[in-house]
Structure 1
Amino acid sequence: MVKIRRAFTLISTLLLCACAGGADTDISGAPLPDVDPATLQAFAKGQFGGKRVASRQTPSALGSYARGCVAGAEQLAETGPTWQAMRLSRNRNWGHPELVDFVQTLSRKAAAQPGWNGLYVGDMSQPRGGPMLTGHRSHQIGLDVDVWMLPARNLTLSAAERENISSISTRRSSGAYVNSNWTRQHHEIIKAAAQDKRTARIFVFPGAKVQMCKDEKGDRAWLRKVRPWWGHHYHFHVRLSCPPGTRGCVNQDAPPAGDGCADAQQWVNNILNPPPPDPNAPKPKPRRELRVADLPQQCAGVLASQ
């Protein structure tokens, strides 16, 4: 509990710089809109962010979720029978083939829910993964996807409409509770995602996790994978495990044993009654921009591949 309270204090400070609205709140190095192209190319995000297509290599997730790349990525079709990829201008509808299959599978399950015809799919990865020019710290190895909370009723949106439409927030009281936009369908879609054996974690705001803990009357094992985290009220974030047999892919440690409901409730308690600042909490340090040399050695080859 002490660790949670200290983490709350530290992360609250960090989030003063996080983007508001529908943007993901994964903390990232600051965007560099005024840096000249030559300087930007010195950073990994400048090089990976400039690639428009995947490498012609055997599909492989390389490195860790926040320090890696993806070889031979597959592009999720912009529109499918039960999904639409959003914000197409970002060119982030790429991932390891396992992620693409996961998204398609989950979208079919979502389409079975009342009021949903499928999913609006947010950011996956760049064509070759790696650090992004803006936004996420993770999403680097083609195994992360953001799924919008907005029910996907219209699957004929144009590219322009997908740039301008917004998702909906499902939180109130700074994430301590769900609001009236939250439905049982959200619960069931997140549950379906968690019950997929490929899923390692799902990030969602604390109030949603607590609500799901209250509402679930059946098997609760899947709740272990649903983890409370800042933001994540316009979308939920699914992270897959490294595909079996993949070399060079680094899994995150497994979530703690149990359903995690008590931990989520403590997050909520800390939102409603913030702990006093911890005088021993370390001050946040500016995040150093990653260079290609900071990534697994294979990532240089992913960049160089035709």
Structure 2
Amino acid sequence: MRGVVFGALLALGLATLTGAAAQAQPQKATDRVKGLQAAAWAAAPGPTKGAAYAIGGYAAGCLAGGVALPGEGTGYQAIRLSRQRNFGHPVLVDFVRDFGRRVATAGLGTALIGDMGQARGGPMTFGHASHQIGLDVDVWLRLDLPPMGRAARERLEEIKYVDYDAGRVDAGVWTPAQGGMIRIAASDPRVARIFVHPAIKLALCDHPGSDRVWLRKVRPWYGHDGHMHIRLSCPPGSPQCEEQKELPPGDGCDDDLYDWIRSASRPVVERAPGEAKPPAPALPAACRAVLRGTSLPVVAAR
């Protein structure tokens, strides 16, 4: 039945392509194709077979050859598995498993792994603009829960670690363990960026540990008051993966951070299922083959 639904949604999504876009000859590898609907990506019956490729940008792309993160492992447990967003590029899955082991070795507790990506990546129907190419993962900051059954993990709630009135972390719930977990992630060479609330970044700046190098990867962003959003760099062998701009120099503990704190004075609420969202950006042409589950064009190795 899921395959039938996927086929119908895919047909609907592809039918929205304009005639000009459908007939146009590609000018270069980054040519875009509009009209692939988020619902079709959410209904994809599973990852495509074959080699793994992250295709396009973090907020406008797709994933070929993705794999599922096991629901539990050393030092971690995945939550809300019913969303079927526990897929990623093999590099991301390896990272999460390594990360869990390091969290366990440090004696911090059990990391809660939230949304990664869909089976074939692509835009989601709710919750995220990014997480599209299998290189993003949300990790909740709470470390107070023991290993639990999967049903219990469906009902968990985030702890908000920010006092919005004070513009600082909430001293009643924030502990060095949260900072230690972020530092473990930021110290991994596969990680390009980690997004946290500006107040959390400030707390890390105040207590960086023995060095400050890792702080450069930790970037302030709205929301992210109960989890960190970890983003990996483009992996080898994915020539159509689009890296972000180089990080600015320094550790980010500067006047710009205080500007962020002043502008992030209210909690950000995650978009609910069914809530209207902005039009999806255009996707790389290769994503049509990924959504269909057909062979990808041969591309040069990275």
TM-score (norm 2): 0.78
Count of paired positions: 253
Task: Give unmatched runs, 5+ long, in structure 2.
Answer: 1-7, 17-35, 266-276, 295-302
Which residue of 93, 96, 102 maps to 1:103? 96
- Summarize the alignment of residues 81-92 of structure 1 with structure 2, pairs less than 5 Å apart: 81-92=74-85
Corresponding position: 1:224 with 2:212: no
State the SS of the aligned residue for 2:154: helix
1:299 equivalent in alignment to 2:284 = no
CA displacement at 1:154 relative to structure 2: 1.6
Cα deviation, residue 165, structure 1: 1.4
Does residue 1:65 correspond to 2:53, yes or no?
A: no
Post-superposition offset of 1:113:
3.5
Q: Which 4+ stretches in 1 moved above 6 angstroms? A: 36-40
- Summarize the alignment of residues 225-240 of structure 1 with structure 2, pairs less than 5 Å apart: 225-240=217-232
Deviations 1:165-198 (A, max 9, x none): 1121111125821112111111111111111111
Separation of aligned partners in 2, 1:65 and 1:252 = 8
Q: Secondary structure, in 3 states, of the residue corresponding to 2:183?
A: helix
The answer as to 2:168 corresponding to 1:177 is: yes
Match of 1:142 in 2: 134
SS at match of 2:211: coil
Per the alignment, residue 259 of structure 2 pairs with: 266
* Equivalent in 176, 193, 199 of residue 191 of structure 2: 199
Q: The residue matched to 1:201 in structure 2 has which SS?
A: strand
Task: Sort the Cα spacing of 1:174 and 1:76 in 2 relative to 1 into closer, same or farther, 3 A.
Answer: farther
Residue aligning to 2:40:
47
Please, which moves more after superposition, 157-166 or 94-103? 157-166
RMSD, aligned CA: 2.1
Structure 1: distance between partners of 2:68 and 2:293: 17
Alignment-mate amino acid for residue 163 of structure 2: R
Partner of 1:192: helix, strand, or coil?
Answer: helix
- The 3 A distance-change label for structure 1 pair 84 and 52 is farther
CA change 1:37–1:57 in 2 (3 A) is closer
- Could you say which structure has the higher helix fraction? 1
1:160 is aligned, of 151, 165, 169, to 151
Query: Structure 1 residues 74 and 271 mapped into 2: Cα distance closer, same or farther (>3 Å)?
Result: closer
Shift of 1:158: 2.2
Question: How many angstroms does 1:80 deviate by?
Answer: 1.5
TM-score (norm 1): 0.77
Percent identity, aligned pairs only?
Answer: 42
**Displacement of 1:217:** 4.0
d(CA) in 2 for partners of 1:152 and 1:92? 23
Indicate if the aligned counterparts of 2:142 and 2:178 stay in contact, CA closer than 8 A: no
Q: What is the DSSP-based 3-state SS (H/G/I as helix, E as strand, rest coil) of the residue aligned with 1:182? A: coil
